[in-house]
Structure 1
Amino acid sequence: MEKILIPIQGQDVAPRFDLATEVVILIREMGNPQPEERVMVLPQASAEQLCHLILSDGIGVLICGGIEEEYFQYLTWKKVRILDSVIGSWQMAARLYMEGGLSAGDVLRRRRMEGMDAS
């Protein structure tokens, strides 16, 4: 069994780990192609509480946007695999991870630059 945590903001990966107040936890069991999905609303944004949740719930993978070096190092030391600087839809990030195609730094969609001239 593998547990993946993604801090979210709306439908996107939260831009900052320490400001997320919602997370998605995906639980992938061997032989089951569709992971179980749980959404949790946190009482407040707190990197310390997220770290505690990750470690106490046995999360093995963290997919996130920006994360401070201190928390990155701590979670890595605790053997959590971190794919950081991911930008875009959390659903797309989850799907790509499950397919083995997600890397740290991936930009999963580009926003249109409306009203901008090419000149």
Structure 2
Amino acid sequence: MALYITDECINCGACEPECPNTAIYEGGLAWSWGGGTSLDAVELEDGTAVAPDAPQAPLSDEVYYIVSGKCTECIGFHEEPQCAAVCPVDCCVADPEYAEAPEELLAKKEWLHQA
């Protein structure tokens, strides 16, 4: 499952540079599918095409946030989610709304980092 950042976040920023998928963003800042990935085209589940560099609305205005569609729990990169490993207040936790099997997370990693 993807991770999310709880309201206990102290905005230290330790998690952001650790994410191999660039799925973590500072509160209030826009994100993009292409940032930190090799995506050259993005088709959402509803069939909508989105340019990889098109800015997307922030998911939080107050604390750092994780884009679940880009989070792979570091599968294929590390043994454990790096954001959770470095978080000093343990606020990077599993998001029960985005349950994914390890195979799905690996497929997402392959999609994000197409060769």
Same fold judged by TM-score > 0.5?
no
The TM-score normalised by the length of structure 2 is 0.29
The TM-score normalised by the length of structure 1 is 0.28
Q: Which has the higher strand share?
A: 1
User: Which of the two has higher C-alpha Rg?
Assistant: 1
Q: Which has the higher contact order (CA 8 A, sep 6+)?
A: 2
